[in-house]
Amino acid sequence: MSKDILAVIEQIEKTKGIPRDTLKQAIEAALLSAYRKNFRSSHKGVSVVLDPQSGEIKVLARKMVVEKLRDSTTEILKEEAERLGFRADVGEWIEIEVTPRDFGRIAAQTAKQVIVQRLREAERDRIYEEFSEKEGEVITGVVVRREGKNVIVDLGKTEGILPPDEQVSTEEYRPGSRMKFFIVEVKKTTKGPRIILSRTHPGLVRRLLELEVPEVHEGWVDIKAITREPGVRTKVAVESRNEKIDPVGACIGNRGVRVKNITDELRGEKVDIIRWSNDPEVLIKEALSPAQVLEVKLDEETRTAQVIVPDDQLSLAIGRDGQNVRLAARLSGWRIDIRGSGKKEEEQ
């Protein structure tokens, strides 16, 4: 066993990056625990040493040299110490080997268990480090199963969790379904990394745009704001850093192919791309698209916008269940009150 264990420790250090001293100390600690348990030893002066050169395992007991023996567990006669080759005076402490004959079998089993455990820990740490760097990124995964209300997703090297509040109510998460997820958080636990995923996070849309639109990825087009009603509609405000680049056109793509790819990934969720403006009136008009806006009046004190649209555009501007105006209000940061042009004329 002696040479085998050293070879295993060396191999693990090379392939898994676990320092041999760390592994050696872990094995020694586990062997000491196994010795105490199997041989019912309560002597605090006992230690287990793994020789780094030979791989030999020894159990050592610290004992005081005495002339008259009272406690054989913690004391040794001077004559006995000399017989063992020690030159020690009475009152001095020495370490003598007390390795039991059948300790080799126990040591082999214990060392194997420690090595397996440390390999698992090292793998968990490696996966945690890898995924902790991906927080805020998008990853492709495959739905595996449900555990209660959570959806478990296969991420390749480990599994992620899609909690109920990160699920889109209109989506079905069937086993085998492949989709992209936003990595919200990576937590370190004793069982390995706990990776929280999302299909509702606005960051998912941002990252999808970065993947689909080179101009966004390269920084020529900035995403200024995103607001979502997951599974239904998203509005994205964009701005160009280059006068020659149309930010809306770049995101939509030729014949709408780029925004269609994002909509497909979001399982049919509509994505409106609008031009950002620092002028609230202009931004509100853009945010209410596809409806046509005739007039916007701002009340700075209440931060309310009175918006007039053609009568035949009123329902479009408001959207189903108020969805369009609600998203526009969140995107612009203004409370929006919409009226039809006919109602305005009546009031006048």
pLDDT above 60: residue 164:
yes
Q: What is the pLDDT of residue 12?
A: 83
User: Which position has the higher pLDDT, 120 or 333?
Assistant: 333
Closest CA to 236 of 226, 246, 250: 226
For tokens 């995924």, name the residue. 131
Q: What is the pLDDT of residue 99?
A: 87
Closest CA to 261 of 180, 185, 345: 180
b/e map of 104-139 (b: 16 or more CB within 10 Å)? eebbeebbeebbeebeeebebbebbeebeeeeeebb
For tokens 């110490």, name the residue. 81
Q: What is the pLDDT of residue 138?
A: 97
CA distances from 332 to 71, 92, 142, 310, 321 (A): 84, 82, 36, 21, 19
Closest CA to 203 of 153, 155, 266: 266
Q: What is the pLDDT of residue 3?
A: 66
Identify the weakest region by mean pLDDT among 54-63, 295-304, 339-348: 339-348
pTM reported for the whole predicted model: 0.76
318: pLDDT confidence band, cut at 50, 70 and 90? very high
pLDDT above 60: residue 347:
no
Query: Which run of H or of E encompasses 50?
Result: strand 46-50
Pairing of strands 93-97, 138-147: unpaired
Average pLDDT over residues 129-157: 96
Contact 181, 144 (CB under 8 A): no
35: pLDDT confidence band, cut at 50, 70 and 90? confident
User: Which position has the higher pLDDT, 37 or 258?
Assistant: 258
187/98 Cα distance (integer angstroms):
45
The 3-state DSSP class for residue 174 equals coil
Closest CA to 9 of 113, 125, 124, 21: 21
Cβ count near 140 (within 10 Å): 12
Provide the terminal-to-terminal Cα distance of the chain, rounded to the nearest Å. Answer: 98
312/316 Cα distance (integer angstroms):
8
From the number of C-beta atoms within 10 Å of its C-beta (0-12, 13-18, 19+), residue 15 rates as exposed
Closest CA to 313 of 271, 285, 333, 341: 341
Q: Which tokens in the block code for residue 168?
A: 């889109």
Q: What is the pLDDT of residue 167?
A: 98
pLDDT tens string 246-290? 999 999 999 999 999 999 999 999 999 999 999 999 999 999 999
Q: What is the pLDDT of residue 282?
A: 96
pLDDT above 90: residue 128:
yes
Q: What is the pLDDT of residue 104?
A: 81
% of the chain at pLDDT higher than 70: 97
Contact 186, 192 (CB under 8 A): no
pLDDT tens string 189-248? 988 899 999 999 999 999 999 999 999 999 999 999 999 999 999 999 999 999 999 999
Average pLDDT over residues 23-31: 87
Q: What is the pLDDT of residue 346?
A: 52
pLDDT above 60: residue 314:
yes
Q: What is the pLDDT of residue 254?
A: 94
What domains can you pick out in the chain, each with its CATH number?
2-119 (3.30.1480.10), 141-198 (2.40.50.140), 201-276 (3.30.300.20), 288-348 (3.30.300.20)
